Amino acid sequence: MTVATSLIPGLDDIVKRGDPRRRGEIARAIAQLFFQDAEKLRPELIDLFDNLLIDLVPHAELSSRVDLAERFSRLNNAPPHLVNQLARENEIMVAGPVLRRSPVLDDAALAEIARLKGQGHLLAMTERPALSPVVTDVLVERGDRDVVRRAAGNAGAVFSPGSYSEMIKRAAQDGVLTLKIGQRNDLSGEHLKQLLDGTLDVIRRRLSSVVNPARKAEIKRAMAAIEEAARPPGPRRDFSGAQRTVLALYREGHLGESALLGFAKAHKYEESIASLSAMSGVRLSTLDRLIAGDRYDPLLILGRVLNLGWPTVRALILLWYGPQRTPADADLEAARANFTRLMPTTAERVVNFWRNRRTI
């Protein structure tokens, strides 16, 4: 029994032995007195109400606790001990309102509750108008997918560098989270690069379609930096002359398999890749990176999509090997067999993926 409880005759007995409905009625009656003059109450009176209600409210029926939690959650001077008590209830219908909006709860209390309670309590916190790193650190550490998504989408939430990195790591497997993070105003350039580097191309395109123009420009710059970093070390090829040659052929109506075969036989790598790019619709930088890899399979796939004959595909494979290397006849025969077996629909799906790659 508190001192405040002892000031009202019979209240202690109601607290100890009264039924929940009776306790709820008394709690609501006392709370109503508080609400009538809440803005005018002096600190000592708020403490008095606080001491009365923390004895009654926990024993009241659920509907009374929910109603009181809703009403007290909107007051700047709500009884602090009661609000903290309500926020720690296991019943989320009671704890939820104060966790979502009560200005009485400080960061220390929120962080403590976030460490101890379940995902429903954490999810309620993500709706607060402002969240400090003290709280978001715990939300990101303990929160499930919905909690982290909601926190990332809260413009009033502030994240520490460590929590930002953790969210970006999780976003690699969560397209919705990627979109939430990508639209945040406080996203740094370095974090944007990290986010995009671990994201599927389709999510990058979706992100670019929902952000503002300034962020869209940032995404393009970040993607260019990522693409540049992915290039193998060594001198960069200059495709400018080859592109002019291919463009002239296109304008004259002579860009086709015959021209491509001629470039490949002459070991003109830049002109061959520029021709393949123009004929397939795959970006030149993407094709260069694919074909400069350690397998010639992309050439088989492009050949099937472009309906090239085996002699042209064979010449491209020899171009891939380079003038200083000669493949064994068995290797070329295996390549021909693979090319023959390759289904056009399968090849088309792969090339469609390449066409969309890094394009946002």
Which three-class secondary structure state does DSSP give residue 143?
coil
* CA-closest candidate to residue 156, choices 186, 182, 179, 134: 186
Q: Which two tokens stand for residue 68?
A: 């009181």
What's the pLDDT at 225?
73
Q: Span 198-218, mean pLDDT?
A: 81
Q: pLDDT > 70: what percent of the chain?
A: 90
Distance in angstroms (rounded) separating the CA atoms of residues 150 and 139: 10
Distances (CA, A) of 5 to 2, 26, 29, 142, 266: 5, 12, 14, 39, 98
- The kind and range of the H/E element at 31 are helix 20-36
What's the pLDDT at 5?
43
Q: Span 230-234, mean pLDDT?
A: 54
What's the pLDDT at 98?
98
Distance in angstroms (rounded) separating the CA atoms of residues 157 and 7: 44
Please return the burial class of 223, using the count of CB atoms within 10 Å of its CB with bins 0-12, 13-18 and 19+: buried
Instruction: Give the least confident one: 5-14, 130-139, 230-239, 327-336.
Output: 5-14
What's the pLDDT at 219?
83
Res. 357: pLDDT tops 70: no
Distance in angstroms (rounded) separating the CA atoms of residues 184 and 125: 18
What's the pLDDT at 15?
52
Q: Span 318-333, mean pLDDT?
A: 87
What's the pLDDT at 221?
81
59-73 pLDDT, tens digit each: 888 988 999 999 999
Distances (CA, A) of 327 to 157, 310, 331: 59, 16, 6
What's the pLDDT at 359?
45
pLDDT band at 9 (very low <50, low <70, confident <90, very high): very low
Residue 252's contacts (CB-CB under 8 Å, 6 or more residues apart) are none
What's the pLDDT at 10?
46
Res. 284: pLDDT tops 80: yes
Res. 235: pLDDT tops 70: no
Res. 200: pLDDT tops 80: no
Q: Span 200-205, mean pLDDT?
A: 75
244-283 pLDDT, tens digit each: 999 999 999 999 999 999 999 999 999 999 999 999 999 8
What's the pLDDT at 27?
81
Q: Across all residues in the chain, what is the average pLDDT?
A: 87
Res. 8: pLDDT tops 80: no
Please return the burial class of 201, using the count of CB atoms within 10 Å of its CB with bins 0-12, 13-18 and 19+: middle
Higher pLDDT pick, 123 / 227: 123
Q: Over the range 64-103, which residues count as b (16 or more CB within 10 Å of their CB) and which as e?
A: bbbbbbbbbbebebbbbebbbbbbbbeebebbbbbbbbbb
Instruction: Give the least confident one: 16-20, 46-50, 256-260, 343-347.
Output: 16-20
Give me the residue spans of the domains in the chain: 1-105, 240-356
pLDDT band at 211 (very low <50, low <70, confident <90, very high): confident
Whether residue 58 contacts residue 85, with contact meaning beta carbons closer than 8 Å, is answered with yes
Q: Span 83-96, mean pLDDT?
A: 96
305-323 pLDDT, tens digit each: 999 999 999 999 999 988 8
What's the pLDDT at 147?
97
* CA-closest candidate to residue 296, choices 315, 274, 271, 277: 315
Res. 11: pLDDT tops 80: no
Q: Span 224-230, mean pLDDT?
A: 66
pLDDT band at 236 (very low <50, low <70, confident <90, very high): low
φ, ψ (nearest 5 deg) of residue 79: -55, 115
Res. 7: pLDDT tops 50: no
pTM exceeds 0.85: no
Largest Cα span, the chain: 106
